[in-house]
Amino acid sequence: MAADGAYTLFAETHAPPTPTQPATRPRRSLILAAALSACVLLSLRRPRRVEPPPPQLQTSAANLLTLRVDGVDAAYEVLGLNSTPSPRFRAAARTLQLQRGATAPTEGTRLWLGLGGGGGGGALRYARFRLLGRRLRYTIDLSAVGCSCNAALYWVSMPGVGPAGAPARGGLGNFYCDANEVGGVWCWEMDTIEANRHAMQVAPHACASPPGRYIAACDRGGAALNTRSLSARGLCAAKSCTIDTRHPFTHVQSFVQRESTLVRIENELRQGEKVFAFNSSASQEYLAQMSEALRDGMTLTFQVWGGPWSLMSWLDIMSGCLGDCPESAHVTYTDISIESM
């Protein structure tokens, strides 16, 4: 969330006439003096005018998240522009924590990474990362993300593009787009993780037109793979699970390419000495469609949201998880890195 801009306060004042001025036309001088005195009184009573914040982005250490990209640390601004009230999050060095809060179920708290003061404003402020032929690594804590909640780390081809070919602000006013047309704008999406304590899903979402152009439709469901379809004990909230979601674990996701074409999405979940590995490989044709979006660069997005079970059954149905997602649900991401393979 961009830091508040600096505000400058102004109070208008008017100086009374000096006694050394010639006293010609006494009646007019008295009238002018009375008028100037009235201006002074009015200016003292008038509320001080507040200038709008300057257009450039401003950052502070409180809303910067450090990523390691190809072995080099870089700080990015955490932006959250579409949630009301303001997103509940804490960014400190390499750690980002966000809470669902009292927001619309389909919104929750959504955050992006921005370029800070050097990124300009509007559609240019969002950081983009190339993923094809690269490996993503991060640690996640899902211990406070229960049934009917979804903690997501995903990528979208922001900004969305309108019919005229220009960046589209969309209904949320911040150029957001995704494969479910949230805010009214479609774009390519790669879901690295959508999860709670009981299940996890990985899903690429292809669209009808290439990234960077106006898109009329996308694959809403995506080529999804739920860990529950692989193993009931692969990821769950118990000591007997390979990955015990009551404790943090590391997710390593590799976008394997061959001749600049995506051929496989490899996933490894690691916790201590335990590893749960799987490939979220849809058909080769579907994966190949994702190549251009991953090669061009996508915006890293974080979200935690949820509601009643009926809203989240697509994630929870195989786990038998029931109950509503509480407003207190929160997730923590740590040590995010991107490197060439």
pLDDT attached to residue 174? 84
Tokens matching residue 280: 């979220």
φ/ψ of 174, rounded to 5, equals -130, 20
pLDDT attached to residue 222? 94
pLDDT attached to residue 57? 32
Got the DSSP string for 104-169? -TTTSEEEEEE-GGGG-SGGGGB--B--TTEEEEEEEE-TT--TTEEEEEEEE-PSPB-TTSSB--
> Could you tell me the end-to-end alpha-carbon distance of the chain, in angstroms, rounded to an integer?
32
Got the DSSP string for 280-325? ----HHHHHHTHHHHHH-BEEEEEEEE-SHHHHHHHHTTTT--SPP
pLDDT attached to residue 102? 62
pLDDT of 298 over the 70 cut: yes
Task: Please name the residues in contact with 183: beta carbons below 8 A apart, sequence gap of 6 or more.
Answer: 82, 160, 170, 171, 172, 174, 176, 177
Which of these ranges, 241-245, 307-311, 334-338, has the smallest mean pLDDT? Answer: 307-311
Q: Which residues pair with 251 in a beta bridge?
A: 138, 269
The region that residue 232 occupies, defined by phi over 0 for left and psi between -120 and 50 for alpha, beta otherwise, is alpha
pLDDT of 1 over the 50 cut: no
More confident residue, 110 or 339: 339
pLDDT of 338 over the 60 cut: yes
Single-letter code of the amino acid located at 106: T
pLDDT of 2 over the 50 cut: no
User: pTM of the prediction?
Assistant: 0.79
pLDDT of 43 over the 70 cut: no
Percent of the chain clearing pLDDT 70 (strictly above): 74
pLDDT attached to residue 160? 87
Helix (H, G, I), strand (E, B) or coil at 184: helix
pLDDT of 38 over the 70 cut: no
More confident residue, 58 or 309: 309
Tokens matching residue 182: 């949230």
Tokens matching residue 49: 């005018």
Single-letter code of the amino acid located at 223: A
More confident residue, 249 or 32: 249
Pairwise CA distance, residues 328 & 180, whole Å = 25
Which of these ranges, 10-14, 130-134, 195-199, 285-289, has the smallest mean pLDDT? Answer: 10-14
- Residues 299 and 127 sit within 8 Å (Cβ to Cβ): yes
pLDDT, average across residues 228-251: 96
DSSP 17: P
Distance of CA 29 to the CA centre of its chain: 63
pLDDT attached to residue 172? 77
Task: Please name the residues in contact with 104: beta carbons below 8 A apart, sequence gap of 6 or more.
Answer: none
pLDDT attached to residue 103? 57
Work out the burial of residue 68: count CB atoms within 10 Å of its CB; fewer than 13 is exposed, 13-18 middle, 19 or more buried. Answer: middle
More confident residue, 71 or 327: 71
pLDDT attached to residue 92? 81
Tokens matching residue 168: 């589209």
pLDDT attached to residue 62? 61
pLDDT, average across residues 289-311: 94
Q: Which of 269, 316, 263 is nearest to 138 (CA)?
A: 269
Work out the burial of residue 115: count CB atoms within 10 Å of its CB; fewer than 13 is exposed, 13-18 middle, 19 or more buried. Answer: middle
Which of these ranges, 39-43, 96-100, 255-259, has the smallest mean pLDDT? Answer: 39-43
pLDDT in tens, 151-181: 999 999 998 899 998 889 888 778 899 999 9
pLDDT of 52 over the 60 cut: no
pLDDT, average across residues 17-39: 45
Helix (H, G, I), strand (E, B) or coil at 275: strand
Helix (H, G, I), strand (E, B) or coil at 13: coil
In the chain the domains, ranked by start, together with CATH numbers, are 61-340 (2.70.100.10)
- What rounded mean pLDDT belongs to the chain? 81
pLDDT attached to residue 8? 26
pLDDT in tens, 69-114: 999 999 998 887 443 444 477 888 899 988 886 655 556 688 989 8
More confident residue, 321 or 6: 321
pLDDT of 49 over the 50 cut: no
pLDDT of 132 over the 50 cut: yes
Helix (H, G, I), strand (E, B) or coil at 214: coil
pLDDT, average across residues 21-33: 46
